[in-house]
Amino acid sequence: MKNRTTVERKSERELVVTRTFNGPARIVFEAWTKPELLKRWWAPKSTGVSLLSCEADVRVGGRYRFEFGHEASKPMVFFGRYIEVTPHSRLVWTNDESDDGAVTTVTFDEKGGKTLLVMHELYPSKEALDGTIAGMEGGIPETFAQLDELLVTTQLAARTC
């Protein structure tokens, strides 16, 4: 049976994601901390976006860098630093690609062979979280951005014809 993922805005500055896994914390933690495993689930196929590269030096002060995208020339890059690494129970990292990036804390809580995972994202301000949410604006801006791109390409194509 599939476990449920929940997301809740706990406060003006916090988002919390929870999910239970049918395995011990040691294993779930491993899947979050070994780049070769992380790679296998961080960019699921159903999303249509691929992970171009994934580096994660999971130790206190270590850095990570994920690159997503459809083409290598224009990747979307996410990076930051691990500020707390407690094997099998807790991971904390920064999201440094933006000044409004959150600090992410993931805890792994094992009970009876299952692991409750809680991912807590603390944004620097209410405006930062509001901005992140508003930035998506129902998917419109990016759609328009892609539309703009498409229009530019078609115009260029029309001009060269």
Q: Does 137 bind other proteins (CB under 8 A)?
A: yes
Q: Does 19 bind other proteins (CB under 8 A)?
A: yes
Q: Does 156 bind other proteins (CB under 8 A)?
A: no
DSSP 143: H
Q: Does 76 bind other proteins (CB under 8 A)?
A: yes
Which residue shows structure tokens 């992140």? 132
Number of residues near other proteins (by CB under 8 A): 49
Which residues, at least 6 apart from 159, have a Cβ–Cβ distance to it below 8 Å?
Answer: none
Q: Does 60 bind other proteins (CB under 8 A)?
A: no
- DSSP code per residue over 11-67: SSSEEEEEEEESS-HHHHHHHHH-HHHHHHHHS-GGGT-EEEEEEE--STT-EEEEE
**87-126: contacts with other proteins (CB under 8 A):** 97-98, 119
Bridge partners (DSSP) listed for residue 15: 9, 121
| Tokens at 6, concatenated | 């929940």
Which CB atom, from 24 or from 62, has the smaller least distance to other proteins? 24
Sites of contact with other proteins (CB under 8 A): 2-3, 5-9, 15, 17, 19, 21-23, 27-28, 30-31, 37, 40-42, 44, 46-49, 68, 76, 97-98, 119, 127, 130-131, 133-145, 147-148
